[in-house]
Structure 1
């Protein structure tokens, strides 16, 4: 047992539920050693791990971001991401969403409300300036849509001042997904949301397209992968439509759920913008030979690894977003792509370098020093600003 596996030794409450789901499944899968067992698609396994109503990673009522969680988002690197995003949305609204008194910004999957707070603070500060900028900033109201109960509670605390003023609210996923959008324009912001949708995992094996599934190995008392025939006819259609040619033994993820979510939103919105910020790339990059195993990663206590079968329900499972797929869905629904590029390029073009300050301070905790450090971290840290992309669509 590796050091990592030793840290995941305890069985989780969700493990027994998944095990029973597999053992009663009518579907079958074949393991590497030739055993044919009851199986479920990896997509179903990932859905249970992340979204089981009681024990799912994003539904269990535990905070998942920040120091006490499993990962950080850009909103935890100071206020700068929110400031730059708020300024850019104000500029884009001036160009595309003119002649309205209010614009609702929906931070979908808004977590603990930090990004929303930083955007609201930026608009609030601008609204007190003289002239046109003040009236422009006053148009924005905020709705945070969040499925994690613990995150919703934190978001309500984070945005309490604006909620009291009637400028912000926090709602659950169910309410957000069923709501009728108002007459005023809407801007949907999805920061690190699309990567959290469950994916199908496909592999070419012996010249055939197969789907990765999950079985329960009784001898080892563990979940292990298996091969199944594709369980969703849309998967083979997607491969054909994309013109994807996999090498033998190459795995790729297909995120039909994220694309369906975008398509549903796109069909229900009239005058609106969609803003997606996430790590990912184009189809061509995601199927290159150096990605033989796909892009699936797991996060637990800020440690990244590639075993999704450890601690089901207690670790994050995520894959790179296919922005080519998202683009085709949005454009097919009548949307215009305004921007696609790296987060670094977005931040630079929105003026973040102008916020760097020359100084001779030696105190690492001085606000000026911390702000400069946050700018460098957003632009340079671990190459993440190149991996993250910003994609913006409009329908006006």
Structure 2
């Protein structure tokens, strides 16, 4: 992977590449990109955990919200999951949907969009016994079936892996942080004058202001994606789960260096230029930019919740089961522990937020369903 990036740098007239280009190559290069290669990414044997890897109860609870929305006929019974990972979340949601609302399940369909051939193979292993489920490599495959969309679109830790560009304010001047090589052919940062028209336009359009010395990750790709999604949706709900901050939080001093980092074997790596192609790269997302970009394509902002608050609202506590098992490893004991871990203050749910956007669905109707 490093060689591919070095070639891209050498072929650029500035002998440097943008961070968005670097991330696109490091994560999604068809031969050597982190997500595209074979190898476990999620769980104990991988590089990071997700909420869905804690217990099936997470997916069951989210699925119960989907089922309520579909049963109320607020949208058509079509669910799209963006970034399917290993397929465990999809399997758990579909099994819950089939159990709780068999009639809508039989009429509906669950699509999983996953760009990685390796992950698509893992998903197929998980879902091969399930009906009304398809895994596709791009959203375009679904758009060919539905010129306009009426349903639910869900993602969990999807946007945090989108490529971003890096800018920095120094002495009242905006610079772009790019990637180049040093005399030893190592990948290093370089500061360049900010000349990209696209970046300058984004900064102006979204009203980005930086303090002196602040590094900022420009989420152009995320905003472009959510706008395109909103343009396609006729009647639908977009539910996004991820970690990130609102604008007022990004301005705080401890976010001055930005949030781009890597995860390698469950270790946080501060230098994203290390372990190229071998580790996950991620940023905290800009929730206000996600919301504003959605509004530009008529996606209404319904609400934003901390994940544990949303799970409580969705009825997670009601899934606790009484038991008199003394065995701490019984299925009931493990299930109850998983519920508590998802609600524990300072636990995994405290780091995540859920943003709900909608189009063509009445707010009053959502109030009774979410």
* TM-score normalised by length of structure 2: 0.91
Q: Is the 8 A contact 2:306 2:354 kept in 1?
A: yes
Retained in 2: the 8 A contact 1:78–1:371? yes
* Separation in 2, partners of 1:116, 1:315: 24
Who is 2:116 aligned against?
148
In 2 relative to 1, CA 284–47 (structure 1 residues): closer, same or farther, beyond 3 Å? same
Q: Give the Cα separation in 2 of the matches to 1:232 and 1:190.
A: 30
- Do the aligned partners of residues 72 and 382 (structure 1) sit closer, same or farther apart at CA in structure 2, a change above 3 Å counting? same
TM-fit CA distance, 1:149 = 1.4
Q: Which residue pairs with 1:17 in the alignment?
A: 4
Indicate yes or no: 2:364 matched with 1:377.
no
Which residue number corresponds to residue 95 of structure 2?
Answer: 121
Any gaps of 5 or more consecutive residues in structure 1?
1-13, 28-37, 128-133
Could you tell me how far apart the structure 1 residues matched to 2:25 and 2:43 are? 23
Q: CA deviation at 1:388?
A: 0.7
CA positional deviation for 1:267: 0.8
**Shift in Å, 1:183:** 6.4
**Which string of whole-angstrom CA distances, capped at 9 and with x for unpartnered residues, describes residues 181-226 of structure 1?**
266722111111111100011110121011111110123x411111
Equivalent residue number for residue 269 of structure 1:
233
Is it true that 1:307 corresponds to 2:271 in the alignment? yes
Q: After the TM superposition, which of the residue ranges 342-351 and 301-310 deviates more from structure 2?
A: 301-310
Equivalent residue for 2:331?
367
Contact 1:49 1:57 in 2 (8 A): yes
Does structure 1 retain, via aligned residues, the 8 Å contact 2:56–2:92? Answer: yes
* 1:263-294 Cα deviation digits (max 9, x unpaired): 11111121222111111121221232111110
- Structure 1 counterpart of 2:365: none
TM-score (norm 1): 0.85
What is the alpha-carbon distance in structure 1 between the residues aligned to residue 277 and residue 154 of structure 2?
Answer: 26
Are 2:127 and 1:159 aligned? Answer: yes
C-alpha distance in structure 1 between counterparts of 2:177 and 2:82, whole Å = 30
RMSD value, Cα: 2.0
**8 Å contact kept, 2:51–2:348:** no
Establish whether residue 191 from structure 1 lines up as the match of residue 156 from structure 2.
yes
The answer on whether the counterparts of 1:212 and 1:228 sit within 8 Å (CA) in structure 2 is yes
Structure 2: state its 5+ residue gaps: 361-370
Distance in 2 (CA, whole Å) between partners of 1:172 and 1:330 is 23
CA separation of 1:96 and 1:246: change in aligned 2, threshold 3 A: farther
Change (3 A) 1:249 1:70: same
Measure how far apart 1:76 and its partner are. 0.9
| Residue 97 (structure 1) shift | 2.2
Cα–Cα, structure 1 residues 288 and 180, in superposed 2: closer, same or farther, change >3 Å? farther
Q: Which residue of 1 aligns with 2:173?
A: 208
Residues 13-162 of structure 1 correspond to what in structure 2 (within 5 A)? 14-27=1-14, 38-95=15-72, 97=74, 103-127=77-101, 134-162=102-130
C-alpha distance after superposition, 1:23-82 (max 9, x if no partner): 23112xxxxxxxxxx211111111111111111111123332222221121111111121
- Which of structures 1 and 2 has the bigger CA Rg? 1
Query: How far apart in 1 are the matches of 2:266 and 2:143?
Result: 34
| Residues paired across the two proteins, number | 360
The answer to whether structure 1 residue 344 and structure 2 residue 308 are counterparts is yes
User: Counterpart of 1:61 in 2: which secondary structure?
Assistant: coil
Cα deviation 1:290-313 (Å, max 9, x = unaligned): 111101121111111211111211
Aligned partners of 2:84 and 2:112 also within 8 Å: yes
Q: In the alignment, what sits opposite 2:210?
A: 246
Alignment partners' CA distance in 2, 1:198 and 1:60 = 18
Q: Which of the numbers 301, 311, 330 marks the counterpart of 2:294? A: 330
Q: Is the 8 A contact 2:228 2:297 kept in 1?
A: no
**1:287 match:** 251
* 1:380 shift after superposition: 2.3
Could you tell me which residue of structure 1 aligns to residue 201 of structure 2?
237
